[in-house]
Structure 1
């Protein structure tokens, strides 16, 4: 696998000091006879010795990050070489290139100053103490080199700081991305859990709806069918028995219609072609007609307030609660002679009251787990943010009252 571009360039730049030393040595030694920089022979030998020592030092630090020590030793060697032969300032230039790497925080400008001095020595032709003119030129070159190096150094520091900030931002971004991925995974798991819970709640709600519908319609109708058939079987009057069997057949047909409507979650059949007050009145009338002749039971339906169309589900709830309340009167209100059903339209509520003067019961008495009537009525009321209250006492009759928000027809 090939190395990354940055790593390849770093390996190549590691040989730059050696390359500059070789090039500077070649130029300095070849031009030495004409410039006089290689005479006397001791000066030439000194240059060769310094070239060898410098090369060894560079080889030692070839693939290492420059340190202040390696930089200063190399800078001193470059200064000595430049004093021996000004053209070795070609090699001294490397001090500008890696000063920031060797001195990332402190000592940067003194190090650059050392390199600027070496460059000024080479550009002015040697040591500045040889003549006043050379000294002036030396200081001029020193200011030029240090000024340029200062600008380059400031820019390098800025680039280095920007790179560090960018790396830190990338690390932080990776951390944030990892957190977001974890949060997304958790949200996905939570969404799946919520969907599963909603599905289970929907199934349970549908089961309860069907249970209420079966209890309030089909079960009551079938109970009426059984009661009519038993009465017909015991009735010696053929005409009366026939009326009871006809009533049983009608109840069975009504049960079949309600079963179909319950499965499709449609409004109750009595509300399909009649208003809620009319449906309640018919319900009370039919309930009274199904009661035995003895003892007689008087059932009245009263409507108060301004009648107005309400939400279909609200009207269906009121009708079903009225059906169940009347069914409870037939089953449990022994000795009842009067039953009153009142439907009241208030400003923001609709109220249904079903009262009887039967035997009543003790509200504190535990009811069996199979008793679904009161629980079903309360569930219907609570589904629409309503309240169902029951008042009763032994021998004092029973009153069932439900208060529901008067949602207009067409409301969401």
Structure 2
């Protein structure tokens, strides 16, 4: 509850506590000012006794309110208090019509005292006192006064019943709004829990992807060592064996030169394999800058016009996400330079709220994705490998191409921010 709500609640509480006293005081003052309307000492004594009873009733009710469990909730005790107060007000108004001001308290707190459907009956009873006072006092003296009393009763009761109906509707709407807000809070709590669980699953998935990537890199490195370094070392050994058995210096020099060339080539292969274990471009730069540099260097090396664009608000991505997208881009560029015969290429990195999209388009000769056979080359792993990389971090890779109309590749992965 806000401060304004608490202040309003306090004012309503003060009105219900002191309002009846104020109305009774006004009634006493007006009755005293019109003492000619009271016939004799007996009515004065009766009126005085009833005023004292009204004050005592209100003091008792206010004094026990804090001890009642129902507080301001309508109850049988509240209805009994209302009935007794109405009876006092009715007799006082019979003695002097101006005591009807005290009866008006029934309009003020019927919602607090009388339960459910009985509330309208209480309002109608209070309207009887007011209509009698407004028509000249109870009981009506002649037919004209009876007609006036009936009209005023309909007006008073109808007005109060309409107001009560509107207040009850507003109260129901307030309850419904409170229930809706509570339901939304429960839904938000469940949604937050689901988001937390989703974040934990993403983190777990990234760990699994890293583990799977390590296994893939080990298999790739083993294959490259077998295909390059092991073959190179075997060739070097063979050349050195020839040198050891050579009968002349010229033959020995020739095979030594071949062994030296094989050693240099094997060293280059070793360096390239180590370089491919992790994206060096990400060592000091984020993914956007690493992609920009990669695309620019590729364009200079191949002579193909290449452009790189970033859309959305760039964010610092998790290392695994950055490495995956950079590897996919490198392999796509490698495939384009080997097979596409393109003249232009565009790379776009898009940050789209909860995901990152890498789009690579070229104007090359294209191919039929359904009929194409993936070819593995040194340092590359083809479309199947790129797709596997994206899927390992809950992403997806789509390829659109047809002969003569270029190729469009799109990798969509979840946007997982870098751990602080």
CA contact (8 A) 2:374 2:384 kept: no
1:158 is the counterpart of 2:182: no
1:51 aligns with 51
Q: Supply the distance in 2 between the matched residues of 1:217 and 1:96 (Cα, whole angstroms).
A: 99
Structure number with greater Rg is 1
The equivalent position to 1:120 in structure 2, one of 128, 131, 153, is: 131
| CA 103–223 in structure 1, closer or farther in 2 if over 3 Å, else same | farther
User: CA shift at 1:117, angstroms?
Assistant: 0.5
Pair 1:68-2:79 in alignment: yes
1:21 corresponds to: 24
1:218 aligns with 2:229: yes
Shift of 1:315: 11
Higher relative contact order (CA 8 A, sep 6+): 2
Cα distance in 1, alignment partners of residues 258 and 199 from structure 2: 58
Deviation of 1:87 after TM superposition, in Å, equals 0.8
Q: 1:244 to 1:382 in 2, by over 3 A?
A: farther
On the 8 A contact 1:311/1:411 being kept in 2, the answer is: no
**d(CA) in 1 for partners of 2:25 and 2:199?**
65
> Conserved in 2, the CA contact under 8 Å of 1:128 and 1:138?
no
Structure 1 equivalent of residue 14 of structure 2: 12
CA distance in 1, matches of 2:90, 2:80: 15
Q: Give the whole-Å Cα distance in 1 for the aligned partners of 2:383 and 2:252.
A: 39
What secondary structure does 2:265 align onto? helix
Partner Cα separation in structure 2 for residue 104 and residue 212 of structure 1: 86
- Please say which of residues 247-256 and 229-238 is displaced more in the overlay: 229-238
Quote the offset at 1:250 in angstroms.
1.8
- Give, in angstroms, the shift of residue 382 of structure 1: 6.8
Match of 2:103 among 65, 72, 92: 92
Deviation at 1:255, TM superposition (A): 0.8
Q: Counterpart in 1 of 2:288? A: none
Q: Could you tell me which of 89, 93, 117 is aligned with 1:82?
A: 93
CA contact (8 A) 2:374 2:382 kept: no
Q: For residue 126 of structure 1, give the secondary structure of its aligned residue in structure 2.
A: coil
Which of the residues 248, 253, 256 maps onto 1:245? 256
Once the 2 structures are TM-superposed, how far is the Cα of residue 41 of structure 1 from its aligned partner? 0.7
Could you say if the C-alpha distance between residues 95 and 192 of structure 1 is closer, same or farther in structure 2, counting changes exceeding 3 Å? same
Aligned equivalents of 2:370, 2:110: Cα separation in 1: 87
Distance 1:109 1:142 in 2: 14
Q: RMSD of aligned C-alpha atoms?
A: 3.8
* Matched-pair contact (CA < 8 Å) for 1:128–1:134: no
Deviation for aligned residue 1:83: 1.3
2:109 is equivalent to residue 110 of structure 1:
no
Residue in 1 aligned with 2:319? none
State the distance in 2 between where 1:118 and 1:8 align. Answer: 30
Equivalent in 236, 242, 253 of residue 231 of structure 1: 242
- Unaligned 5+ runs, structure 2: 66-70, 280-300, 303-331, 339-368, 389-400, 410-420
Following superposition, the deviation at residue 59 of structure 1 comes to 1.8
Distance 1:134 1:380 in 2: 103
2: CA distance between counterparts of 1:385 and 1:146? 78
Counterpart residue number, 1:167? 178
Provide TM-score, normalisation by structure 2: 0.61
